[in-house]
A and B are shown apart, each in its own frame.
Chain A
Amino acid sequence: MAHDAPTIAETLRRQGISRRGFLKFCATTASLMALPPSMVPAIAAALEKARRPSVIWLSFQECTGCTESLTRSHTPSIEGLILEQISLDYHHTLQAASGEAAEAAREAAMRENHGKYLLVVDGSIPLGNAGYSTIAGISNLDMLKETAAGAAAVIAVGSCAAYGGLPAALPNPTGAVPVSAIIKDKPVMNVPGCPPIPVVITGVLAHFLTFAALPELDDRGRPKVFYGESIHDRCYRRPFYDQGKFAETFDDEGARKGWCLFKLGCKGPVTYNACATTKWNQGVSFPIQSGHGCIGCSEPGFWDMGPLYKPLSMPIAPVQMMVGAAAAGGAIAGTAMAMRNRAAKKAAQAAHQKVTVDDLEKAK
């Protein structure tokens, strides 16, 4: 299959895309990955020769939101083109086949492209009980291990696959873990987000397609180009934050004037993602632009990060009761201490022997 497959350039030509269109595609890919324009010829040369790589997409404990996001990157954008250039050989939601035929397709793709296919995973893996989540009677854990064995690289798409996500939120009833907790011998790239931005998913696929390797990753396995800066750093409301202008409620004067959403619980300052620059829906907008604070969906453990609508600097749990009790305890302890001190004073007074001048004379 891999041998007979047409190269990407051939596929594009067959679809009636001109050389010029092809180079434009390369330029867009370069800019998407924040590569300099001087890289365009290299990308073109790579794509001329590249064959459509096989992609296997496994969905474990997830909500299909990541796939929903991925499909939003379609028509007629560059991402759509890219998707036609890979061979998505297995994807529960998007494939037509089901049951045994579907599993057979996965096995065939694994066999024919051994060592070369790309494995994409969304959803977390339950370690608690294999029965919590199975596909065709195979536990998620087994299927991941088996499919990752022959993969060139693994991409964990979405916060669940990257960090455990919602299934791993306290008290983590299924013992959910991210892909990186299981796959240690392959390059694993995390593309977190709940869901990730569509062009971020397709952007990293494009990178793999072009360079047959994963893009540069940070210490949490995320592609630096998309996760290098915090939302707050690139937020267009930032000047209001700096001026101390904040919306206090979702419909007050400040909210209407587009002031900073920090007081309404925005987690932008601690969230690393590309929303503020890449934006959503083909660059139309992103949550903060629509008037809602960032909830930090691309950060590990964001579900347990405290109330969504509490400012970052506010305490997470109510502390008043505890502090009140501690203060009362302090008062009681202080009183006890006072009584002890007074008793010591009294005892000292009682033990005090009076000495008169006569006594001293006698003692001489």
Chain B
Amino acid sequence: MTPLELLTWARGPGLSIALAICAFGILLRLFEIFSLGRKADLSKAREHSPGSGWRTILSRSLPPPGLMKRAPVTYIGGYVFHLGFAITLFFFVPHIELVRGLTGLSWPGLPTQVIDISAVAGLLALIAVLASRLSNPVKRLLSGFQDYLAWLLTFLPLATGYLAFHHLLIDYTLALALHILSVELLLVALPFTKLFHTVSVFVSRWYNGDIFGRKGVAS
């Protein structure tokens, strides 16, 4: 199989399979989670706190005071990674073209220099958070196989994309094929690992905020 054939497979059958598994998994898990329900809270709400869930979505997305002192790597690394990843994912023109190919939607992209910086920032942040996860005894104790898997599955698309874009180490065609394949791995794993937070994060934040609001810890 030549690199181009691999690329063609990745753009064709590979992508279809990955997207299908991802869509299947997301729907499956959403139905499962929502249908589980929660026990009805029979106690009276401590406090009337409309909008507590919504406010929590925002407040938990902002850094809590003191985090910078307590965990600077988590703080900076977390933000830099998520922003870098999102900018690279949503504003690199070939990525927008992919979305356009799938959904018909498109929006303006950013110059490749900006994407380059955001990708490098994302990669460095990922390396930093991994180093801190490994070196900090508490974090290491809390980490399991899934955490490292999620890290790897996120790292690979950024790394292969960077190699492809800069024509480093491997032939561009092969790098592009590996890049798309790594994204497909990410898509397949997304619904079934902690990576599902990309779908569920705001739902769970809302729920936490709302339930704590009822219990008197309104945000």
Binding site for B on A (CB under 8 A): 220, 230, 232-233, 241-244, 246, 262-263, 269-270, 296, 299-302, 304-306, 310-317, 319-320, 322-331, 333-335, 337-338, 341-342
B102, A242: Cβ atoms under 8 Å?
A: no
14 A-B contacts (beta carbon < 8 Å): A232-B172, A233-B167, A306-B12, A314-B98, A315-B16, A316-B11, A320-B102, A325-B20, A327-B24, A330-B24, A331-B27, A334-B28, A338-B31, A342-B35
Whether, in the assembled complex, B21 has its beta carbon less than 8 Å from a beta carbon of chain A, the answer is yes
Known contacts A304-B8, A314-B100, A316-B8: does B35 contact A334 (CB below 8 Å)? yes
Whether, in the assembled complex, B93 has its beta carbon less than 8 Å from a beta carbon of chain A, the answer is yes
From residue A71, how far is it (CB to closest CB) to chain B in Å?
A: 30
Determine the chain A residues whose CB is within 8 A of the CB of B7 once the complex forms.
270, 305
B4, A299: Cβ atoms under 8 Å?
A: yes
A311, B172: Cβ atoms under 8 Å?
A: no
Determine the chain B residues whose CB is within 8 A of the CB of A337 once the complex forms.
28, 31-32, 35
B16, A322: Cβ atoms under 8 Å?
A: yes
Whether, in the assembled complex, B110 has its beta carbon less than 8 Å from a beta carbon of chain A, the answer is yes
Contact of B101 among A296, A305, A314, A328 (CB under 8 A): A314
Determine the chain A residues whose CB is within 8 A of the CB of B108 once the complex forms.
244
Determine the chain A residues whose CB is within 8 A of the CB of B172 once the complex forms.
230, 232, 269-270
Whether, in the assembled complex, B78 has its beta carbon less than 8 Å from a beta carbon of chain A, the answer is no
Q: Mark B4-20, 1 if CB is under 8 A from A, else 0.
A: 11011001110110011
Least CB separation from A342: chain B residue: B35
- Measured in the bound complex, the distance between the Cα atoms of B32 and A266 in whole Å is 44
Determine the chain B residues whose CB is within 8 A of the CB of A233 once the complex forms.
167
Known contacts A301-B4, A331-B27: does B12 contact A316 (CB below 8 Å)? yes
Whether, in the assembled complex, B94 has its beta carbon less than 8 Å from a beta carbon of chain A, the answer is yes
From residue B133, how far is it (CB to closest CB) to chain A in Å?
A: 32
Determine the chain B residues whose CB is within 8 A of the CB of A319 once the complex forms.
15-16, 19-20, 102
A241, B112: Cβ atoms under 8 Å?
A: yes
From residue A81, how far is it (CB to closest CB) to chain B in Å?
A: 36
Whether, in the assembled complex, B176 has its beta carbon less than 8 Å from a beta carbon of chain A, the answer is yes
- Measured in the bound complex, the distance between the Cα atoms of B24 and A310 in whole Å is 27
- Measured in the bound complex, the distance between the Cα atoms of B22 and A323 in whole Å is 9
Whether, in the assembled complex, B43 has its beta carbon less than 8 Å from a beta carbon of chain A, the answer is no
B5, A301: Cβ atoms under 8 Å?
A: yes
From residue A347, how far is it (CB to closest CB) to chain B in Å?
A: 15
From residue B111, how far is it (CB to closest CB) to chain A in Å?
A: 5
Determine the chain A residues whose CB is within 8 A of the CB of B30 once the complex forms.
334
Whether, in the assembled complex, B67 has its beta carbon less than 8 Å from a beta carbon of chain A, the answer is no
Contact of B27 among A315, A316, A330 (CB under 8 A): A330
- Measured in the bound complex, the distance between the Cα atoms of B100 and A310 in whole Å is 11
Count: A-B pairs, CB below 8 Å: 141
Binding site for A on B (CB under 8 A): 2, 4-5, 7-8, 11-13, 15-16, 19-21, 23-32, 35-36, 93-95, 97-98, 100-102, 108-113, 167, 172-173, 176
A315, B15: Cβ atoms under 8 Å?
A: yes
- Measured in the bound complex, the distance between the Cα atoms of B201 and A4 in whole Å is 85
A331, B31: Cβ atoms under 8 Å?
A: yes
Least CB separation from A335: chain B residue: B31
- Measured in the bound complex, the distance between the Cα atoms of B8 and A327 in whole Å is 24
B28, A333: Cβ atoms under 8 Å?
A: yes
- Measured in the bound complex, the distance between the Cα atoms of B173 and A220 in whole Å is 14
Determine the chain A residues whose CB is within 8 A of the CB of B15 once the complex forms.
315-316, 319
Determine the chain A residues whose CB is within 8 A of the CB of B176 once the complex forms.
269-270, 312
Least CB separation from B3: chain A residue: A270
Contact of A305 among B8, B35, B36, B98 (CB under 8 A): B8
In order of increasing CB-CB distance, the 6 nearest A-B pairs are: A334-B31, A330-B27, A338-B35, A314-B101, A326-B20, A313-B94
Determine the chain B residues whose CB is within 8 A of the CB of A338 once the complex forms.
31-32, 35-36
From residue A232, how far is it (CB to closest CB) to chain B in Å?
A: 8
Known contacts A314-B97, A341-B36: does B4 contact A327 (CB below 8 Å)? no
Determine the chain A residues whose CB is within 8 A of the CB of B26 once the complex forms.
327, 330
B5, A330: Cβ atoms under 8 Å?
A: no
Contact of B93 among A262, A299, A342 (CB under 8 A): A262
B113, A326: Cβ atoms under 8 Å?
A: no
A315, B25: Cβ atoms under 8 Å?
A: no
- Measured in the bound complex, the distance between the Cα atoms of B12 and A230 in whole Å is 23
Determine the chain A residues whose CB is within 8 A of the CB of B29 once the complex forms.
334
B4, A300: Cβ atoms under 8 Å?
A: yes
- Measured in the bound complex, the distance between the Cα atoms of B12 and A317 in whole Å is 6
Determine the chain A residues whose CB is within 8 A of the CB of B167 once the complex forms.
233
- Measured in the bound complex, the distance between the Cα atoms of B23 and A328 in whole Å is 9
Contact of A244 among B8, B19, B100, B111 (CB under 8 A): B111
Determine the chain A residues whose CB is within 8 A of the CB of B12 once the complex forms.
306, 315-317
Determine the chain B residues whose CB is within 8 A of the CB of A241 once the complex forms.
112
B101, A326: Cβ atoms under 8 Å?
A: no
- Measured in the bound complex, the distance between the Cα atoms of B30 and A323 in whole Å is 16
A330, B23: Cβ atoms under 8 Å?
A: yes
From residue A308, how far is it (CB to closest CB) to chain B in Å?
A: 13
- Measured in the bound complex, the distance between the Cα atoms of B94 and A73 in whole Å is 37
- Measured in the bound complex, the distance between the Cα atoms of B18 and A320 in whole Å is 12
